[in-house]
Amino acid sequence: MSDLGDTQTVTARRLFEVSAPVSPDLHLVRSQVGLHLLLPNGNRLFDVDAATFESLEAVRQSANGGALEELLRAKGLDLRKFIDDAPVVDPQVRALSLAVAQKCNLGCTYCYAQQGTFGGPAKNMPLQTALLAVDLLFKDVRSGDRVNLSFLGGEPLVNRSVIRSATERARQVSSEKGAEVTFSITTNGTLLTPEDGDFFEQYGFAVTVSLDGLGQDHDQLRPFKGGQGSFARVIQRVAPLIAQQRQMQVSARVTVTPRNLTLKETLDAFVAFGFHSVGFSPLLRSPTGSDEMTLSDLEMMLDQMVMCGEEFERRVIAGQRYPFANMVNAMREIHRGTHRPYPCGAGAGYLGVSADGDLSACHRFVGDEDGAMGDLVNGVDRGKQVMWLTERHVHRQQPCQQCWARYMCGGGCHHEVIKRGRPACDYIRGWLHYCLSAYSSLVSARPDYFGSQPATTH
Amino acid sequence: MTINPKNLTAQLHFRAAGNPPTTMPETAISNSYPGLEFDFRNIWRRLFVGIELHESDNYVVRGFGKHRNLVGHRLLIVAGDPTVTAVVGPQMPGGSSGQLSDATMLEWSNSMARVLHRHAGRMVKCEFTANIEPQPVPIPDNRRGLLSLQLRVRPIFASSKTTRGALPVIEQSLVEPGELTQSLCSPWQNDYRECACYYWAASRPDYVNVDLNERGVTTGNNWLAKNRDPKEYVPDDFADSRLIGYEDLFQNWQALLQFVVEGKDYSPGDKSD
């Protein structure tokens, strides 16, 4: 039986057990504040009493769909589908990421871009290509629309002048069209200058700095090509931006491998340092296979994630800021009941652009036939896009069809799934199960955090 | 056995036990006929602490405490902004422009927008007619005769005591339970009696028990006739007591209305039964 309420310490192993897929039509959660039912269709969450919980548990275990439907109908609920099988049709481009530099000054062994070059020759994106990409981004934009332009690599700051020109052009076109454009960049931080800070601040960039831990932890995973560590350099370069952020937001993204599993310590240090938010992602696939997370590593990671999540709960209840991005996003999505047929916008509203001007499903598929989507000259290859969106729909994924978490997770990162499979389902479900119980507690303790309930008015 | 929706999708799609289908957002009558669900104008009645206004008029309906004497007066100016205006325009299409009214009430949500934006939660100068005014009156040229006093403006939105930010719910002191629906037209009774042609509420008989003589002349009853004898058509002037009126329908529709089958009043025990 699902059981998080009775124990003080929630272990990852326990979470693996209670979050295991039993029925695709419902999931049951026991939290510190009560008993809860999740209906995956619409990701609707309910409080239930003990008797209802027991009946639902019995029906769930018996896998009797008819009995479940009858039981739910008696409660005014139903099993109707909120998401159909149809792929998204002719999505408009809403976001592009430009691989402005397919080269990097770091030599991270696990990098999906293979030290920046994606396995090919090192190259920069010519300005003309970047401007063509901006044209594509605004091609169908109308007044009031919002689009995002992001810069990735390799290390994008290797090609700083193109970033600046493309940003200025995008801002100019957006004001001509009455649209809004936001900018983002993912950088290793080693090349940041004060002038970059001024520029990012001026254009309100979301700056994401890849940092894999503190000192030694980071250095062993993210060394310069010559072998020396990069942590001290990154911190030295990022600190002025942290102090400068008003319009811009400077966040840290931690790629978690078996060699940097001290998440709580990392999170607290980065929050104290002043990052706008701090997020963690497990390394599920690297080109060489090195540092990929195994199930036992993921179990350790989940223990750490829950430890961070519990600190987040305490801080929110105390009314303090604690920008643990994974938790902030999970709370927002669970509260809204976000339900999705895809894990992200890749290949739909979001596309990657290579230095050569080829389009791909996302920034990870640069130069990769698996995610090819046309090019800047001929536009989005609608045939390939339809095929992608049809095949990648979560209803076409296995074993997602049997999983209660399918509309939260959307089937998992396309790149990781296509290249490695789904080694992290237990971890993802365990994390979401914990988040459901944390949400249930927090929405009772601090409804104002979620901003939409009047319970604390009087 | 209880089950309560917790997150937003659950709340949005939940039909509580005993609630009819029309309580769901996707099947509510407001989808087809906005305005038949709530009468939002009721929030204006208690916009100012100490008095109660008409929901669509500047007439003071009630006064509390020291403002009791304001009943029957009209609120003409708030923070310098008028609540009434003169209306000028042509009487007939293409005709010349003239004054149509010297004092037409401005709709509250527009006329009070600036007041709410600047003064919500604060005291504001309110100017009332010097006398009780049953009919609308314009703002006089000489404003010195107006009753002037400071009243507190209630905010439209409730605020969180924890975050002090606005919550997306109506401030509780603005409306009592039931008031948002209290002044709705009683949709079917009013519309059923009043509407004709193909409006949704007008699926009803009109001219019943009709006989046609050899000269092609018909005799019959207005469907609203309280007595079917004599058989004559009583024209509806909204006042003739021989016809079922609005009040009658509100209070006793179930006894007054009867089935009409194939154009004739149906009485139980008929051969056609």
Quick one: closest CA in B to A336, which residue?
Answer: B8
Closest residue in A to B171 (Cα) is A457
Residues 319-358 of A with CB under 8 A from B: 319, 334-337, 339
**Domains: count for chain A:** 1
Q: Using CB atoms, which residue from A47, A48, A448 is nearest to B160?
A: A448
Task: For strands A379-380 and A372-375, give the pairing.
Answer: antiparallel
Task: Give the lowest-confidence range in A346-360, B29-43, B161-175.
Answer: B29-43
The answer to whether residue A363 is domain-embedded is no
- Structural domain includes residue A207: yes
* A19–chain B Cβ distance below 8 A for any pair: no
**Between the CA of residue B195 and those of A249, B203, B204, what are the distances in Å?**
59, 9, 10
When scoring B2, B6, B170 by the number of chain A Cβ atoms within 10 A, the one with the most, hence best to mutate, is B6
Which residues are registered as beta bridge partners of B63? B51
Residues B42-100: tens digit of each pLDDT: 999 999 999 999 988 999 999 999 999 999 999 999 999 999 999 999 988 889 999 99
On whether residue A248 sits in a domain, the answer given is yes
CA distance A221 to A266: 14
B4 vs A46, A337, A339: nearest CB: A46
Q: Which residues of A20-29 are buried (b: 16+ CB within 10 A; e: fewer)?
A: bbbbbbbbbb
Whether A457 sits inside 8 A of B169 (CB atoms) is yes
Q: d(Cα A102, Cα A110) in Å, to the nearest integer?
A: 16
Q: Residue B269: what are its φ and ψ, rounded to 5°?
A: 95, -5
Instruction: Round to whole Å and give the CA distance between A25 and A41.
Output: 7
How far B29 CA sits from the closest chain A CA (Å)?
20
Give the per-residue pLDDT at A132: 97
Contact yes or no for A457 and B7 at CB 8 A:
no
pLDDT at B218 exceeding the cut of 80: yes
Q: At what angle do helices A263-273 and A295-317 cross, to 10 degrees?
A: 40
List chain A residues with CB under 8 Å of B169: 454, 457
Distance from C-alpha of A91 to C-alpha of A385, rounded to nearest angstrom:
9
Evaluate whether residue A455 is within a structural domain.
no
Q: How far apart are CA B199 and CA A363, in angstroms?
A: 56
- In angstroms, the CA A263 to CA A165 distance is 37
Does residue A155 lie in a domain region? yes
Q: Is residue A250 part of a domain?
A: yes
- Taking the CA of residue B49 and the nearest CA in chain A, the distance in Å comes to 18
Residue A131 forms part of a structural domain: yes
Owner of token pair 């997770």 = A409
Look up the CATH number of the domain holding residue A199. Answer: 3.20.20.70
Mean pLDDT score across all residues of chain B: 87
CA of A448, closest CA in chain B: separation in Å? 7
- For chain A, 458 residues long, the average pLDDT of each consecutive 10-residue run is 55 96 95 95 96 93 83 82 92 97 92 86 96 96 94 95 98 96 98 97 98 96 94 97 96 97 97 97 92 96 98 96 97 96 97 97 93 96 96 96 97 94 96 98 91 44
CB pairs under 8 A between A and B: 95
A265-292 burial, b if ≥16 CB within 10 A, otherwise e?
Answer: ebbbbbbebebbbbbbebbbbbeeeebb
Looking at the domain assignment, is residue A114 inside a domain? yes
Full-model pTM? 0.74
The domain containing residue A193 runs over which residues? 95-336
Please indicate whether, in this complex, the C-beta atoms of B167 and A47 are within 8 angstroms of each other: no
Q: Is the pLDDT of residue B209 over 50?
A: yes
**pLDDT at res. B191:** 78
